[in-house]
Structures are given as C-alpha cells and as structure tokens.
Chain A
Amino acid sequence: MLRIALVVALSVVVTSCSRGPVMTTEVVAVPAQKPVATPADGAWDSAPEHVAKLLVQDLVEPRLMKPSTAEVRVRALQNGGEMAFRLDWKDGTQNDLPGPAKFLDGCAVQIPEKVEVNPPDPQMGSAGHPVQITFWRADWQASVNGRKDDIHSLYPNASVDHYPFQAHSLEPGSAAQKEMMQRYAPAQAMGNRRVGPREFPVEAMMAEGPGTLSPGAGLLARGAGVRTKTGWQVVLVRKAPAGLSAKVRTQVAFAIWEGSAQEVGSRKMRTGWIPLALREAK
C-alpha cells in the first residue's frame, strides 16, 4: 500500500510540474463526462500516459521469435459504467487488406473478468480464471470506414465471371438469394463473427487459456482507429471491470499485432499484467 501511495503521490507531483504528457507506472483511468470512442477527443488530454514495453509472445506455440513493435502508449478514461483505452504505437506499414499470407495490424486490451487478489495467467487467462479481451483490427476499421465487402476491394483488377447468388432467378435481397450466398460462405452460415459487414471494428471476447478464445457474449465492444503519421491510434471501449473502484486495483494487459511481420493469433507482441487504477471524479 505504501508503494501505491508513493506512486499516486509521485503522479500528482509530476502532473503539477511538467508540461508534456504525464507518465505513470500503472494505467490510470481518469473520469470523463461521456464515453469516448474517438481517438481525437480532447478528453484524452486529461489522462496520464503509460508507456508499456512489449515482449514477444514466446510462451506457447506458435510463438513469435522476432520482436517487432517495441512499445505502446496507453491512456484510459472511465465514466463509471464504461472504460475506454487509447493505444498509440509506431507502425511504418499499414496492413489492412486480408488475403493469403497477408496479415492485419491489430491491438487488444485484456482485463481479468473479476477483480481478484491473484489475477489470472496474463497469457490469455487460465481455466476458472477467465479474461475479457477487446480486440481491434485494421481491416475491420477499413470496412467500417466504407471499404466495400467484396473481392474487388481487395483485388481491384479481379475478374469474376459469375457468382451463383447473382443468378437472374434470384431476386436481389431476397431470402433465396441470401441462402444461396451462404451456401458458399459456411463461416457466415455458422454465425462466425469474423464475417462482415461490421458495425464496429472491435470485437469482445473472453478466454480461459491459450487457444480458448471465444466470443464474449453480452460484452460491450466499441471503438475506432485512425492512421497517424507514425502508426496507429486506436480507442477501445468496454464495460468497466466489475468491482473496480478507486480503492481496488485490477490488472490490464495489451497486445499489438504487426501485419507486415506476419503476426497473427498467438504470434504477437504483448505485455504482462500492468496495474489498472481508477481515478474517480472529484
């Protein structure tokens, strides 16, 4: 407790003495009037910045053997019910086109499902100790931004003779046409949420260990990402962890996927647990 008190005290001192962004050794979510879902919102200026050093995921196969993104800068806001994180990281390549052997830029925030003394394994949680994950991907962002969900958006020069769902006998938009389309899109027929179109470029999930990632039914997931001069700036919005208060801390972890380095799934740069504190409105 003494250490925490010192950290908080140090944060206050730094806040009052410097003009640049306030750095913290933990992620501190400061109050905001409303849920913030855009990276450019001025409310972010009130939040201190935590610079999280990233590690290669080399604990479970398939591993990432070569480091890529070095660090991610994090700010957090909360309005009681919701919590928003803004992640900034350097990325010289924009990877938002899916395809064979093509991978996407992405980022994620991970928080234990429950505030508990002994947090789950930081590597995707563990059995009986689930974690909640909020995940953003660059291709979903492009889709939300208006890129059409068709093959010509990915391959402008593609030539397609005919799709069965374009048969003249099928009325556009009819149930019969949708059924025909699903015949050749089994993932869509199965309700796989990887399939577009998308309302948000963010997905909520939960996990109880590596390889157990599953849709986080009922979990809030909003957000948006923008391409900056040096990389990406992404906001991830989720519900505030149950039981979190100004008196009780929990943990948070981050992950970054660099598409040009063929990072996907467990091949990622990640952090361990970082303390997550809540600062309440005065």
Chain B
Amino acid sequence: MARVNNWQLGREMSYWYPESRPQRQFAAVFDTNKCIACQTCTLACKTTWTSGRGQEYMLWNNVESKPYGFYPLAWDLKLLEMLNGGAWNGNKYEGQTIFESAPAGERVLGWRPEQQDYAYPNVGEDDCAGQVDKGAGMMSLPHMNWFFYLARICNHCTYPACLASCPRGSIYKRPEDGIVLVDQGRCRGYQECVKGCPYKKVFFNPMTGTSEKCIACYPKMEQGIQPQCFVNCIGKIRLAGYISKPGQERAENPIDYLVRIRKIALPLFPQFGLEPNVYYIPPIHVPLSFSRQLFGPGADEAVKAYRNAANDADLSSLLCLFGSSEQVMTRWSRQGDLVSGLDDKGSTLVRVPRNEPVFTRPAYDKLYQITRTNCP
C-alpha cells in the first residue's frame, strides 16, 4: 500500500498503487436539481455501447430515485453499513476508506451483487416516503416527503477501486485524460473489479467472459465532443470537461470553478476514498443530513450557494452553459449577460444569454378570437 493525497478527504490515505495523476482528468458536473429522470441518457448510452449479447442487463448510465432507488439493489447502503458510516471532522474524513478497511486477503473492502440485484433497475422510482396528502400510509419511515433523481455513470476515479482490485492489471487509467478502461484483450473475467467498485459501475458480460464498463465515450472526448449521455440530456443537467490537479485550479475552467472554487458541485460518497470525478450539485429540497451522507460535508454550503445562484451573475451564467453545446468547453467567460464556452485554444464554441427572454402568451388570442391553452 502506498500513501496518496486525497483532496476530497482532506488527508492522505492508503492506496494499492502510488499517486500518479494523469496529465488531465476527465470530470463532469451533474446538476441533480434539473434531472427529470427521463432516462434519455440511459438509452443514449444503451443504444451506443451495450446492445450486444451479454450486455442486456448492463446500464453504464442509470438514473435512480433516491432514497429508495438503486441499481444494483442497495449498492450504496451495503457498503455504508460495511464501513460503519464513516466520520467527518469538518472537511477532514476521519473514518476509514474502502482501501484502509480491506479485510485480510482482499485488496479493497467490497461486495459482489447477485444476479437478482440487477433485476429491478427501476426499483424505488418516484417513491417518496409518504403519500402526498396525509403522509406515508403503507410505510412508516423517518423521512419527509421527498425524493430526487441521481444520474450515475462511472466516476473515472483518481484512485479507482476496480483498478486496484484487478489482480491481472487489466484495468488502466489513461495518462492523457484519466479515463478508466478495462483492457478487453487482457481481462479474464474474475469479477474482482465488480466486487471492488463501490459504485457498482463495472459489469460482467457472461457472453464474452469479460467485465465491461463506461468508457466516458473516449472516442468522442478525443475529438472534443461530450459523451452520449451528456449531449442527449433533455434537462441539460450535465457538463463534461477536465478538472485540474489539486492546487492548480483555474477560474476559467468551468469544472474547476464549480468544484474547487465555488465548491457547489460535490463528489459522490467521497468517504469511500476513490476521489470520484463526477461531481453533483446537491438537491436543494432534500434533508441536508442525507445530502451530507451522499456528498460529504460540503453539502450545506453548496445548497446555500445554489439557492442564491439567481443573484450571482457568474454562477448563474456558468450554469447556463450546461447542455448549450455538444463540444467540450474547457474554458468559459462572462460578458455582461452573455456567457461563452470556449475550447482549449480560446475559440468561442457557444455564446448564450444568462437570462432567456421571456414571452407571455395570453390565454385568449384576441386577433383570432381563440383560446390557446387547455386550462384558461
């Protein structure tokens, strides 16, 4: 075990390999407040990558309703229980990561889903904990009436547990962009990666006998185009780019700005210790205790900043860039009420207004003497 820096934990931690950060790291921000769980992202990925034999059950991208949605079943609860929750002291994690709590004979603390755990990808969909009018009739659980949608892909972690788990070195992290891939020529289907990944984003293909996972649409990213699940997102909740190394943040980098500078986008279960690189703007209507468990101690401030975004010209402008272009915007700038997304060379890819013009159409059209809405 090597000692490595995990900025999300505010401390060093143990990892199977020494610290080796890529030249740049693929990263993304998902705004959970915009997601409507239409699953267009799921289908975009499915039709592009996992329509083959043995891939039937695979969802490299999925959207689940929290708190009762899971794919696979209870993927997060099982590991949280195994970790005994984990404890934060301010921004420093004082519990153990899955690497530090690996049992004897194992490289990481993990568990392997059974086949039936994959059988209900929509379990818990739209389930809130109570009936709308009089609270939960069928269940009595300590929740208010809330839920939110959590879209998930591989986190292309800085310290991938799948990579650490593989005894054959069949999983690698690309030095040029940090995307984590399974070498399909080398994999022998031991499923150690399936067991090790806490997010359960590696899937065993019984037809090819190998494990497969999200590839961050690297052929697209190499051409400066965002992945399929990003560009097909109806709610425009996603922004793909690259996050800088810790201490090298640049305000002109949209991911850096949202994650490290404004700290409005947070990692998913940072306490697991993988330094995941998909960052979530937490839901603003969910109990903060739940958000803290999912996104770490930064949840309170992130929610506060997001609630105030309308009064924050820079933040609200940058949020308007989500879903505004198919291309990867590695830089951004604001000019008054306009915000621009730029590429590495500084060329403008897209320019959008901070506030879209609003037109109010009267229910009754006097010119044609007709009612144009169903519910006047």
Known: A160-B56, A163-B52, A192-B185. A98 touches B115 (CB 8 A): no
Residue of A60, A98, A149 most packed against chain B (CB within 10 A): A98
Contact with A along B42-72 (1 / 0, CB 8 A): 0000000111111111000000000000000
Bound-state Cα–Cα, A63 to B55, Å: 29
- Give the chain A neighbours of B194 by CB distance below 8 A: 100-101
- B44 CB, min distance to chain A CBs, angstroms: 15
> Is B56's CB under 8 angstroms from A187's CB?
no
Contact of B132 with A by CB under 8 A:
no
> Is B107's CB under 8 angstroms from A187's CB?
no
Q: Which of B100-127 contact A (CB under 8 A)?
A: 104-107, 112-115, 118
Contact of B208 with A by CB under 8 A:
yes
Instruction: Identify which of A58, A101, A154 contacts B105 (C-beta below 8 A).
Output: A58
- Give the chain A neighbours of B187 by CB distance below 8 A: 187, 192, 194
Instruction: Identify which of A61, A102, A190 contacts B184 (C-beta below 8 A).
Output: A190
Bound-state Cα–Cα, A195 to B187, Å: 11
Instruction: Identify which of A60, A65, A98, A101 contacts B114 (C-beta below 8 A).
Output: A101
Q: Which of B189-215 contact A (CB under 8 A)?
A: 189-192, 194, 203-210, 212
> Is B105's CB under 8 angstroms from A64's CB?
yes
> Is A151's CB under 8 angstroms from B114's CB?
no
Contact with B along A188-207 (1 / 0, CB 8 A): 11111011000000000000
Bound-state Cα–Cα, A69 to B104, Å: 21
Contact of B167 with A by CB under 8 A:
yes
> Is A163's CB under 8 angstroms from B51's CB?
yes
- Give the chain B neighbours of A190 by CB distance below 8 A: 183-185
Known: A100-B113, A213-B168. A151 touches B54 (CB 8 A): yes
Contact with A along B122-141 (1 / 0, CB 8 A): 00000000000000000000
Contact with B along A220-235 (1 / 0, CB 8 A): 0000000000000000
Can you name 6 extra interface pairs (CB under 8 A) apart from A61-B167, A99-B204, A100-B113?
A98-B204, A102-B115, A164-B51, A164-B52, A185-B54, A265-B167
Residues of chain A whose beta carbon lies under 8 Å from any beta carbon of chain B? 58, 60-65, 98-103, 149-151, 154, 158, 160, 163-165, 181, 183-192, 194-195, 210-211, 213, 262, 264-266
